[in-house]
Amino acid sequence: MDWATFLRIAHILGTALGVGGTTFLEIYVLKHINTRNVDMFENDAVKISISLIRYGLIILAFSGLGLLISWRLNMRGPEVFFSARFLAKMVVILILLLAALATNLKFVNLKYASAVSTASWYAAMILGMWRRVPLSFFTIMAGYVAFIVLTYLILEYFRNKSLKIK
Amino acid sequence: MNSNLIIFLALHIIFGTLAIILLTAYLLSISKKDPSLKSLKLNSFVSFLSIIISWISGGYYYTTYYGKSVKPLILKGELSWIHSIIMETKEHIFLFLPFLTLTIFGITYLLKDKLEKDKNFRFATAVLCFTTVSIILAILIGGIVISGAVKK
């Protein structure tokens, strides 16, 4: 197996852990949401999911940088490094990291942070898989912002539905 | 580029990234009500070592290869400002990092009692840690941009 294949496998594994972990976490929190002031971060399933997401991020960071080294060695140049798709993906990942840090430090409202986080994981995954994105950087970012809003509305709908059932 | 240079470049990136991860873990740990001194000591020590290794490996790559083989390629292209501004900034700002991480390491080891008891001091250390992480992240992004400017 060559390095490029190994790095791609690792990158996909990191994505699976991150996207899977985030999806499970959102569904679990929505299902077990309550009106009492119980700290969800103390829940075991939540702690395990957060750990998986963190391991996914670490694997993604190293494998992603490994792929960038191979791009650099092949001198892929500005056409690849500064393509709209790649730049958008990097911005999405930065926002994801900031949202994750702010959530862990409890600086932000969890509802908004979870929408940003979930939308960012899916957006980064889609941008990674969609090889030839025929859109400009600003169009992709506008789509990303719309996706965050949509994610927030969907999560809010299920949050309210879950609270009504209780 | 020969395999030794590839290894040094990879080490430079791996250990720089490791420092970001460990300092972020330090930041999250120190922000808790009851931080684990053991994990703070380990994270600060290993992140300091990581920065030193990243410094040495990056320095070797820069002095033996970048200067004569990569810099001319970037300077002759349309994106010459990437070397003139980003690489030059990166080279100089990186010099802060061993001292910043050493300070965090020193605080954790030598002032552990103050760190445990004084909430304001803990906050100040957290701010220092966050600043250091931000600088390393900016340098990492700078490195990606510089790599992107290199074409055949």
Q: Do the Cβ atoms of B14 and A62 come within 8 Å?
A: yes
| CB-count burial class (<10 Å; 0-12, 13-18, 19+) for B132 | buried
Name which of B1, B13, B148 is nearest A77 (Cβ-Cβ): B148
| Closest by Cα among A100, A108, A107, A105 to A124 | A100
How high does pLDDT run on average in chain B? Answer: 93
The answer on pLDDT for A59 being more than 60 is: yes
CA A70 → CA A3, A7, A108, distances in Å? 9, 10, 37
| pLDDT, tens only, B76-99 | 888 889 999 999 999 999 999 999
pTM score: 0.90
The band of A132, judged by pLDDT with boundaries at 50, 70 and 90, is confident
Tell me which residue has tokens 């050493």: B102
CA A146 → CA A84, A123, B21, distances in Å? 18, 11, 30
Q: Is B13 on the interface with A (CB under 8 A)?
A: yes
| Pair of tokens at residue A73 | 């060695």
| Closest by Cα among B30, B34, B4 to B133 | B30
Q: Is B76 on the interface with A (CB under 8 A)?
A: no
A-B contacts (CB, under 8 Å)? 53
Q: Which of A44-48, A108-112, A137-141 has the highest mean pLDDT?
A: A137-141
Q: Is A78 on the interface with B (CB under 8 A)?
A: yes
Most distant CA atoms of chain A, gap in Å: 58
Give me the number of domains chain B comprises. Answer: 1
Q: Which residues pair with B151 in a beta bridge?
A: A76
The answer on pLDDT for A34 being more than 80 is: no
- Chain B residues with CB under 8 Å of A68 CB are 144, 147
In this predicted structure, what is the pLDDT of residue B73? Answer: 87
The band of A38, judged by pLDDT with boundaries at 50, 70 and 90, is low
H helices within chain A, ranges in order? 3-31, 44-73, 78-81, 84-104, 110-129, 137-165
Please count the other Cβ atoms lying within 10 Å of the Cβ belonging to residue B97: 22
| Pair of tokens at residue B29 | 């740990």
Residue of chain A whose alpha carbon sits nearest to that of B7: A69
In this predicted structure, what is the pLDDT of residue A146? Answer: 97
Q: Is B149 on the interface with A (CB under 8 A)?
A: yes
Residue B97 domain boundaries: 3-148
In this predicted structure, what is the pLDDT of residue A66? Answer: 95
| CB-count burial class (<10 Å; 0-12, 13-18, 19+) for B77 | middle
| Closest by Cα among B90, B95, B69 to B146 | B90
In this predicted structure, what is the pLDDT of residue A72? Answer: 92
Specify the amino acid at residue B111.
L
Task: Please report, rounded to a whole number, the percentage of residues in chain B having pLDDT higher than 70.
Answer: 100
**Overall average pLDDT of the A28-33 stretch:** 83
Q: Is B21 on the interface with A (CB under 8 A)?
A: yes
| pLDDT, tens only, A110-130 | 889 999 999 999 999 999 999
Name which of A61, A73, A77 is nearest B17 (Cβ-Cβ): A61
Name which of A65, A73, A76 is nearest B13 (Cβ-Cβ): A65
DSSP state at residue A76: B
Q: Could you give the ipTM of this predicted complex?
A: 0.88
- Between the two ends of chain A, the Cα-to-Cα distance in Å is 52
**Of the ranges A42-51, A64-73, A84-93, which one carries the lowest mean pLDDT score?**
A42-51
| Pair of tokens at residue A70 | 């191979």
| pLDDT, tens only, B2-46 | 889 999 999 999 999 999 999 999 999 999 888 899 999 999 999
In this predicted structure, what is the pLDDT of residue A161? Answer: 87
The band of A37, judged by pLDDT with boundaries at 50, 70 and 90, is low
For an interface test with B, the pick among A75, A93, A108 (most B C-beta atoms closer than 10 Å) comes out as: A75
A139: Cβ contacts below 8 Å, ≥ 6 apart: none
